[in-house]
Each structure stands twice: as structure tokens, then as C-alpha cells.
Amino acid sequence: MNWVVATANAHKLRELSDLFGGLGVTLLPRPDELAMPEETGTTFLANARLKARAIAQATGEVALADDSGLEVDALGGEPGVRSARWAGEPGDDAANNAKLLEELRGIHGANRRARYRCVLVLAAPDGRELTAEGRFEGFVLEAPRGTGGFGYDPLFQPEGDTRTLAEYADAEKNAVSHRGRAARRLREMLERLGRTAP
């Protein structure tokens, strides 16, 4: 069974491949000639569903889509669904992190509470789908640390830890992250159904 992953983000594809390893599926990157639909949804679920359905219809294969981002309480939940392109197009991690630090200037400690959220949608070409969500609580630091991960990982310190996500090994991050939690929920659903498609 193949799943086509609705992303152009190589980091995300690698994480998802690791998270669904051993399930009996091969995760394939979205074909270059297939444009991603515009993410017009106002929620992570809406955007993940848009992408999964579009790729499933275009390829005739089961499609897996992820929509995820960082929600910062002091910023009213921003950057939220705009996390990847918060500082403008095209998406740029360094610019997004710089904007986050600027927006939180003068806000310290516990007032920098945030969470990563991820919604996964697994869609079949016939319209059947499964959805799963994961959350990961923490805080935004005042300076980046670490060289691993991607996105806001150098600024995100998980609750109860002194390291940032960018200081985690890949396997360690997958075991606790928002994407890891969503993937485990989706795997559990598939295992209960006894299949590898919705």
C-alpha cells in the first residue's frame, strides 16, 4: 500500500515516514507536477483535509496530509495555521523565528506559553477519511538553541524539560512531539480497523 504525502517539506516527509514505519505502507512524496491546493481553511483540520482530498483525487492513491503549527497564548494563538509562512512568502524558518521573537519582546517566563498542534488526515480517493490530532505543550524561549528539527523547534522548550526541540534526537522528538502523537492515534485507528487505508 502506498500513501502519497501532501507536502513539499522534506523534513516533514522524513518524520512521517519514520512515524509510520512498520505499518506496511510506503510513503511517497507528492509528485512535483501536482500543485498543492491553496490553504484557505481557518483551522488545521480544514487545511489538512483540503490537501489530503486534493492529492487523493489527483493521484488515485490514499493521501496523507498534515497541517500543523505553533500557537502562542500571548499572541492570541498566532501564528497558528499561518505558522509556515508567518513572516511572508515563501516560508522561511529563520524569518518566522525572528518575527516570533520580535512579537514576544518584553514578554517573559510563563507568559510565553505555547503549544505545537498537528492534525493528520488520511484520505482515500473514494472520499473515506480518518483524522487524528496531537498537541505538545511548552514555552517559547528568548533565544534559539540547537541545530536539529525545523520550524520553530530552536525556540520551543517542551514543558518539563530544559532543552529545545532542536536539541532532541529525531527518534526522541518523534516519541513526544505533536506530530508523533497524532501519528500514533492514526496508527491505533488503522490497527483497530485491521487495514492500512480509511
Could you report the per-residue pLDDT of 61-85, keeping only the tens digit for each?
A: 999 999 999 999 999 999 999 999 9
Query: What is the reported pLDDT for 29?
Result: 92
Q: State the CATH class of domain 2-193.
A: alpha beta
Tell me the HSE value of 54 on the side-chain side, using a 13 A CA sphere. Answer: 18
Based on the residue annotation, tell me whether 92 is a catalytic residue of this protein.
Answer: no
- 0.85 cut: is pTM over it? yes
Selected catalytic residue, list 18, 67, 92, 93: 67
Query: For 145-191, what is each residue's pLDDT tens digit?
Result: 999 989 999 999 999 999 999 999 999 999 999 999 999 999 999 99
- Going from N- to C-terminal start, the domains of the chain cover 2-193
pLDDT of residue 90: 79
Averaged confidence pLDDT in the chain: 94
